[in-house]
Amino acid sequence: MVTDADAGPATPRLTEVAYRRLLDMILGGELEAGAVVQERKLAKALDVSRTPLRDALFRLEGEGLLIRRGEGALQVKTVTLEDYSHALRVRVTLESEAARLAAGHVPAATLAPLRARMEAILHAAEASDAEPLSRAELDAVDDILHEAIAQASGNPLLAELIRQVRQRSRLFGLERRPRRIREISAEHLAIIDALAEGRSAAAGAAMERHLTNVIEDLKQRIFAPRG
């Protein structure tokens, strides 16, 4: 393990490695909601010293993924339905603007393979036994598309805010369930079309429609009466 004394100028790199690993652990559920952070155990698991680990934990705390308890210990944030709903509504505002700004600026080399993969998902979703596979692929394409839009917006602060809010909304876990695969695929294709054709207003509207539909789906799943 690299010690603090050995880290020196490499500490920023080690901090980034620790941050990415911890982020994956939180979003993947390896560090569960409500879990108390044990620095010594994490440092050993990640093979980093306490200094870059603490810097990474401080960053995650600043992003709202970790919270500090009364006695000072850090804990993985438990995301409530209200938190998730707020995050989605913020995403509507931020990502609609990002899509408007990104129209005509996302490289064709990025959009073309995304379109091909999305069309394949749409076809695969028609076969009932292919749903788990198509859902996993949809999640992957969704990440790439939304990140490409954020980057192409030309506004680094907007892009960073989008990443943070998307991370928070993922903690709730509802977006990663096999629902609306066909509808989401069609919504994504509409966004891709508008981006490729440089239609700013249409790109913004397509993104707003997509995220608004996610919110409506949330309402139906949580609040609709069950027979």
Please tell me the predicted confidence (pLDDT) of residue 1. 46
**Does the pTM of the predicted model rise above 0.85?**
no
Please tell me the predicted confidence (pLDDT) of residue 55. 92
Cα separation, 59 vs 57, whole angstroms: 5
Q: Which of 57, 76, 95 is the last residue of a domain?
A: 76
Please tell me the predicted confidence (pLDDT) of residue 179. 63
Q: Are residues 47 and 131 in the same domain?
A: no
Please tell me the predicted confidence (pLDDT) of residue 100. 98
Q: Which of 9, 47, 11, 46 is nearest to 26 (CA)?
A: 46
**Position 163, amino acid:** R
Q: Which of 54, 76, 98 is the last residue of a domain?
A: 76
Please tell me the predicted confidence (pLDDT) of residue 81. 77
Please tell me the predicted confidence (pLDDT) of residue 94. 98
Q: Which of 76, 95, 118 is the last residue of a domain?
A: 76
Q: Are residues 113 and 194 in the same domain?
A: yes
Q: Are residues 213 and 104 in the same domain?
A: yes
CATH code at position 32: 1.10.10.10
Q: Which domain holds residue 205?
A: 81-223
Are the CB atoms for 187 and 206 separated by under 8 Å?
Answer: yes
Q: Are residues 29 and 14 in the same domain?
A: yes
Q: Are residues 28 and 130 in the same domain?
A: no
Q: Are residues 106 and 71 in the same domain?
A: no
CATH code at position 202: 1.20.120.530
Q: What are phi and psi of 67, to 5 degrees?
A: -125, 155
Q: Are residues 89 and 112 in the same domain?
A: yes
Q: Are residues 92 and 69 in the same domain?
A: no
Q: Are residues 120 and 197 in the same domain?
A: yes
Cα separation, 66 vs 23, whole angstroms: 10
C-alpha dihedral sign at 151, 95, 85, 174: negative
Q: Are residues 120 and 170 in the same domain?
A: yes
Q: Are residues 91 and 139 in the same domain?
A: yes
Are the CB atoms for 96 and 208 separated by under 8 Å?
Answer: yes
pLDDT in tens, the chain (227 residues): 444 444 444 467 888 889 889 888 887 778 888 889 888 888 888 888 888 899 999 988 888 888 888 778 898 887 777 888 888 899 999 999 999 999 999 999 999 999 999 998 888 777 765 555 566 788 889 999 999 999 999 999 999 999 988 887 777 655 555 567 888 899 999 999 999 999 999 999 999 999 999 888 877 766 555 44
Q: Are residues 106 and 44 in the same domain?
A: no
For the chain, the distance separating the N- and C-terminal CA atoms, rounded to the nearest angstrom, is 56
Number of domains in the chain: 2
